[in-house]
Structure 1
Amino acid sequence: MGESTLPPPPEQRKRPPARDRYFDLLRAIALFRVVLYHLTGWAWLPVVFPSMGVMFALAGNLMARSLKRPPLQVVRSRLRRLLPPLWLLGAIGVTGMVLQGWSPNDDGHPGWWWIHLGFWILPLSDPPYAEGLPGIHGILGEGWGGELAGPLWYIRAYLWYVLLSPFLLKALRALPWTTILAPIALSAAFEFGYLNLPGERIPSALTDFSTFGACWILGMAHQEGVLKRLPRYVVPSLAPGVAGLGLWYALTHGFKQGHDLDDIPFAQSLWSFATVLLLLHVSPSWTEWPRWLRPFDRLVTLLNSRAVTIYLWHNICILIAATLWDQLWQFDVMYLHFSWLLESSWPVLAITWMFIGSCIVWFGWVEDIAAKRKPRIWPDGSVPKSRKSRPRARRA
């Protein structure tokens, strides 16, 4: 008999391509670093691993791979995957802010208030939110509206990158390195005063593009094979110099706790560009997970399957975890004997990830609906027992 035409077993069908495993690992590390940074505020964390640059580069790589299909179809697919999780966050968050007294009169322009709410539906600019909300005593800290809206700049920037990607890809194919370096040149123009724009919304969007646009385009360039055409010694020779320039600029412009790379966009653009360039240059071809990474397979799969949900909800999870942990100061035994523990960030980090896990369960299914998949509660790649026990068909 000829070779069997039966499909491979489920565990083989779900196995991602070798290079995707490396990218999945980078995305998982980036997510964990984002949560840790937003909890601790340690200025050195974005230097050790520039998560946002890495995440934009991985998204750009995926976008370039998808653009083998018609651009309009790809853009529509990306938006469909991105927006429903935001809509769920907005439905819950905006409702909560309104119930706590947020109203059109808060900004003095009721008509504009209603129009700006549309950015919760299509975030071409920053959605509005209430500042100074009282919170819920002992559970949710004050000013939670700002924490809720904090991560939305990433969604806005991601949306613009998606919309611009068909044009960026054409430019990349025509003028590769001019296109890659153009965002850094734009960042320099902002930094050194050669370009000044009025208002807040447009300059804010352009600043994000200039800071991380080179990373997004680098991801596209990697997919297009642009980086492979360079001699192997070029990237290891040049990237450390670019990174050093970015770090030097940060150190000479007030880099410290509370004033890190996020507050120095030009330094951020250089450091993120150089780091992403090195990570893409390494890009190992793993036919399977290295032995030391195999225990993390399911965790990495889960983080990648729910990346949008984790990013959107992690700030609120941090705020709730910190508020609950602070209640322990009210107990004399904790205050007198365990103040060192109450001041530590690590217990709050553990509680934060517990709440993030609950958000994955309660809200993560929206990502499956958006991707037109069957909703899953805990998509860590494990095979259900019913499938494991099902006998495989023999070869003919």
Structure 2
Amino acid sequence: MSWGEEQQREYGYGQGYGGQPGTDPYGYGSYPYEPSYPHQPSYAPQAEYAPYATAPETAAGPVADTAEFEAPSAVAEAEPVAEPEPEAPVAPGPPSPPKRDRYFDSLRAAALIRVVTYHTFGWAWCGMVFPSMGIMFALAGTLMARSLQRPALTVIRSRVRRLLPPFWFWGVFVVLAMLIHDWMPGWQIVYWVVPLGDPPGNAWGEQAWEILWYLRTYLWFVLLSPVLLRLFRRAPLPVLFLSLVPVVVFQFAWDPGDDRFGTALWDLATYLFCWILGFAHRDGVLERLKPAAVAFFSLAAVGYGGWYAFSHQADAGGTYDLDEIPLAQAFWSAGYVLLLMWAKARFRIDFAGLTRYRRLDRIVTVFNARAVTVYLWHEIALILAVPLIDQFWNVPAFEKYLPLESQWFMFGIGWLLIAACVLVCGWVEDVAARKRPRLLPG
């Protein structure tokens, strides 16, 4: 437009969903619980950009107050103390995993649900109600800024390793299906190995592979992040707001075109602000912004994006769908996502109470641990739902009692097929993260 469980060994977030400590893929990973701002700065020299700091903790919990380690009083020293009997050694149990930030987890789950809803019904207003791709890029930017405390090449290699195996596994089925339907690729098939450009395909499989623009854009952001983060930390607010300039230039001064290179530039420019906004959240820049300034910029950006979308419907084929109007998408997402991320930093929102609702909490867990699988396979699930429903017409009881013509019925069947894909194919995300394969996380 994010995957799996970046909160584990990759970011030092603990046990995560179960398995060995620390792993993730795609920015669709998980977020640590931030029990209190400020936390330790993510980069040493410029501590002013990372004002969050938490008390040091051990596996058993927070370090005790320093008063407990003061010397005893003179009266206490004079009193005889009985020699304590030696206690039997207690085997240390496994450390309990740290709490997860369910606010970010819930945003990612809602973003995935919105993506499936949009691809089922095609409602143009979906992107305005919840700009899921901008949200996912912002969440991925936050995690990328956190992980770049480690060497950049290590982080990039880890990200790529966790993304590509699920993509290859999915791609085998799509490529074979297109080959069976008379597709003959050229050298561009290399983009089915590393999707730094849009992978080629034929019209028969277009609905399945057209979603890969998000993977391509994400990979480019990952590769560019070491440089982007360094620029951001030199001048955080100017870089953040200037990140909207490229999409304005592309719209009014220079059109990069609609070829493989041009579409990649358009997507990078459209979501650059959201990615860098993730940096700003991670480094504590957002919580220092005044509410009036945030409200002014957010409303101005959303207002301009909405105005441009509705006033340029003719240029987008008669629709105000933000996915068809990059400039409107960039500004609408910028204003909307800024409010979400600023509210998180300002009001310490964590949705910790979600854990009281076990079933809902489990659903959020599965969405976050299988985000790559849900994103890649949801279009295939929706494609398969159509011939499956066609077969229902051959059963008189189904024809009589089921709403076979309703898109809502297809929506439900699609989710059942997505669940089947998660069960059958989700283990690839565990393998990519070098963990024991599991049927379901959590």
TM-score range normalised by the length of the shorter chain: 0.7 to 0.9
Give the Cα separation in 2 of the matches to 1:261 and 1:91. 31
Following superposition, the deviation at residue 241 of structure 1 comes to 2.2
Confirm whether residue 117 of structure 1 aligns to residue 181 of structure 2: no
Residue matched to 2:404: 342
Q: Which moved more, 1:324-333 or 1:271-280?
A: 324-333
Residue matched to 1:92: 173
CA contact (8 A) 2:343 2:349 kept: no
Quick one: structure 1 residues 362 and 287, their matched pair in 2 at CA, closer, same or farther if it must change by over 3 Å?
Answer: closer
Residue matched to 2:422: 360
2:133 to 42, 52, 67: 52
Following superposition, the deviation at residue 4 of structure 1 comes to 7.6
1:65 to 135, 143, 146: 146
Which runs of no fewer than 5 residues in structure 2 stay unpaired?
1-85
Residue matched to 1:171: 231
CA contact (8 A) 2:298 2:338 kept: yes
Q: Which moved more, 1:154-163 or 1:276-285?
A: 276-285
Quick one: structure 1 residues 256 and 301, their matched pair in 2 at CA, closer, same or farther if it must change by over 3 Å?
Answer: farther
What is the one-letter code of the residue matched to 1:169? L
Following superposition, the deviation at residue 175 of structure 1 comes to 1.9
Quick one: structure 1 residues 74 and 157, their matched pair in 2 at CA, closer, same or farther if it must change by over 3 Å?
Answer: same
Residue matched to 1:308: 372
1:159 to 219, 225, 250: 219
CA contact (8 A) 2:256 2:265 kept: no
Following superposition, the deviation at residue 147 of structure 1 comes to 1.5
2:331 to 266, 270, 279: 270
What is the one-letter code of the residue matched to 1:101? D
Residue matched to 1:232: 291
Residue matched to 1:384: none
Give the Cα separation in 2 of the matches to 1:76 and 1:44. 37
Give the Cα separation in 1 of the matches to 2:352 and 2:118. 30
Give the Cα separation in 2 of the matches to 1:205 and 1:51. 19
2:273 to 214, 219, 226: 214
Give the Cα separation in 1 of the matches to 2:119 and 2:221. 24
Residue matched to 1:187: 247
**The structure with more radius of gyration:** 2
Quick one: structure 1 residues 5 and 322, their matched pair in 2 at CA, closer, same or farther if it must change by over 3 Å?
Answer: same
What is the one-letter code of the residue matched to 1:300? V
Residue matched to 1:6: 92
Confirm whether residue 297 of structure 1 aligns to residue 361 of structure 2: yes
Give the Cα separation in 2 of the matches to 1:150 and 1:356. 18
Confirm whether residue 375 of structure 1 aligns to residue 434 of structure 2: no
Quick one: structure 1 residues 291 and 230, their matched pair in 2 at CA, closer, same or farther if it must change by over 3 Å?
Answer: same
CA contact (8 A) 1:56 1:215 kept: yes
1:246 to 287, 293, 305: 305
Could you list the per-position Cα deviations for residues 176-219 of structure 1 after superposition, in whole angstroms to 9, with x for gaps in the alignment? Answer: 12322333211111122x01335611110110011111101101
What is the one-letter code of the residue matched to 2:342? H
What is the one-letter code of the residue matched to 1:177? L
Quick one: structure 1 residues 268 and 318, their matched pair in 2 at CA, closer, same or farther if it must change by over 3 Å?
Answer: same
Give the Cα separation in 2 of the matches to 1:126 and 1:216. 20
Give the Cα separation in 1 of the matches to 2:390 and 2:356. 37
Residue matched to 1:385: none
Quick one: structure 1 residues 4 and 48, their matched pair in 2 at CA, closer, same or farther if it must change by over 3 Å?
Answer: farther
Which runs of no fewer than 5 residues in structure 1 stay unpaired?
105-112, 132-142, 382-396
2:208 to 148, 154, 158: 148
TM-score by length of 2: 0.74
What is the one-letter code of the residue matched to 1:48? V
Could you list the per-position Cα deviations for residues 286-340 of structure 1 after superposition, in whole angstroms to 9, with x for gaps in the alignment? Answer: 38324775541000000000001110111110111123224445678877x679x
Higher helix proportion: 1
2:321 to 251, 255, 260: 260
Quick one: structure 1 residues 67 and 221, their matched pair in 2 at CA, closer, same or farther if it must change by over 3 Å?
Answer: same
RMSD over aligned Cα atoms: 2.5
Give the Cα separation in 1 of the matches to 2:178 and 2:273. 36
Q: Which moved more, 1:40-49 or 1:241-250?
A: 241-250
Residue matched to 1:321: 385
Could you list the per-position Cα deviations for residues 66-107 of structure 1 after superposition, in whole angstroms to 9, with x for gaps in the alignment? Answer: 000001100111111111111111112112221232224xxx
CA contact (8 A) 1:168 1:179 kept: no
Residue matched to 1:78: 159
What is the one-letter code of the residue matched to 2:350? W
CA contact (8 A) 2:256 2:266 kept: no
CA contact (8 A) 1:183 1:209 kept: no
Give the Cα separation in 1 of the matches to 2:99 and 2:317. 40
What is the one-letter code of the residue matched to 2:340? L
Following superposition, the deviation at residue 38 of structure 1 comes to 0.3
Give the Cα separation in 1 of the matches to 2:278 and 2:91. 36
CA contact (8 A) 2:145 2:282 kept: yes
CA contact (8 A) 2:310 2:320 kept: no
CA contact (8 A) 2:250 2:256 kept: no
Q: Which has the higher contact order (CA 8 A, sep 6+)?
A: 1
2:103 to 17, 22, 29: 22
Residue matched to 2:341: 280
Give the Cα separation in 1 of the matches to 2:330 and 2:266. 10
Following superposition, the deviation at residue 257 of structure 1 comes to 7.8
What is the one-letter code of the residue matched to 2:436? K
Quick one: structure 1 residues 298 and 221, their matched pair in 2 at CA, closer, same or farther if it must change by over 3 Å?
Answer: same
